[in-house]
Structure 1
Amino acid sequence: MDIMFLLDGSGSMNTYEFNEMLNFVTKVVDSFNFTTTRVGVMQFSHWFDERSIYDQPYMQSDIQLGMFASNIQFKVALSAMRHHGYTSFTAHAIHKAIFIDLASSDRFTDLCTKKVIIVVIDGRSLDHSMLLTNANAARALGVTMYAVGVSNYWRQELQVIANGEVGKNDRVFTAPNFDQLHRVAPPLTQHILSLTSSADSA
């Protein structure tokens, strides 16, 4: 399985809240075997229209997909991430995750390798008009989308990211605040793990 976490780095959260989001990621990945599962992490915030997708300082993958084959090494790198601040260009982050991060994997075209994007966001995206197109592009390439909303999330955006339609809550997880975000980790993890178990039984 190849998994990309897209973490909101906007200024609507403080440093403590950002670190709670990192703690959430560590809880989710605890159940994965890093010898068979590749995990990457992108913090996203601002997007510069005048720059190419390869030159976006606030949309870089701090942990590239499969960079670490050890859970411990991954957690050390994750704890070193620093909060950006600024804005939330979620749709652009999804686009980059598909066509650069996940596509860089030598398993991207392997139908037996599950591909997952987990978006964690605490407010409304500035590029929300592009969310449906970009999330659908991910699904068309076999990527399973998850949306995790915290605090000031917009449920309709989460539904579009995870399912491509408003009103459908499959793979949508929410927490009222960052102190409660850890409660989302167990059900999210179990849902992701079920992707591989369902494939094995097919």
Structure 2
Amino acid sequence: LSSYNSDTLSWPNEDELNESNELNELNTSNISDVHNLDSESEKECGNEYELSTGTGNLKAHLRQIHRILPPEENNQNQSTKIASNQPSLHDFINKKTPLPTSKQDKITNRILAWIVDDLQPFNATTNNCFRDMILECELRFEFPCYDKLKEKLMQSVLFAEQQLKELLQTTMSSFCFTTDLWSQMHQPYIA
């Protein structure tokens, strides 16, 4: 195929065009005119096709009447091979891109802070309403497992412990403990 317009298809060096029953049956396609290009002038095939129908009839017309065949599977050119490996438009649009790790970690840390601050159990993250709320805010978020939450919690505890030690070493000159011991019937208490 040497040139393609939105409503015309042309090809070079076609011998003669036969009128046949097959040609008359192939009357619909997205191509309105089929042309044969000669080196000096343009010769028309004579068939006109509807613009509102598919290209299957045109493909059959080119194959059966004009002997224009699609390339063999093993003789495909590079651009055809690339095109066959491309995802469909539906797959491309619905592709779920992963959340950047910095954003994933930030949300996980916020969830962990909520668990600690509100004294929530770890299994609060498995609650469907909680998950729906988080996914409403960030659809690409992947919930961490218990082990990941525990690991991050231990990192936070160690960090807070280190910060407290540094604060006590740099600012504390003295300290005081006060205890209060009392008991009531069957209820001892120490503060």
Instruction: Decide: shared fold, TM above 0.5.
Output: no
Which category of TM-score, normalised to the shorter sequence, fits these structures? Answer: under 0.3
Higher Rg of the two aligned structures: 2
Normalised by the length of structure 2, the TM-score is 0.22
Normalised by the length of structure 1, the TM-score is 0.21
Q: Which has the higher contact order (CA 8 A, sep 6+)?
A: 1
Q: Which has the higher strand share?
A: 1
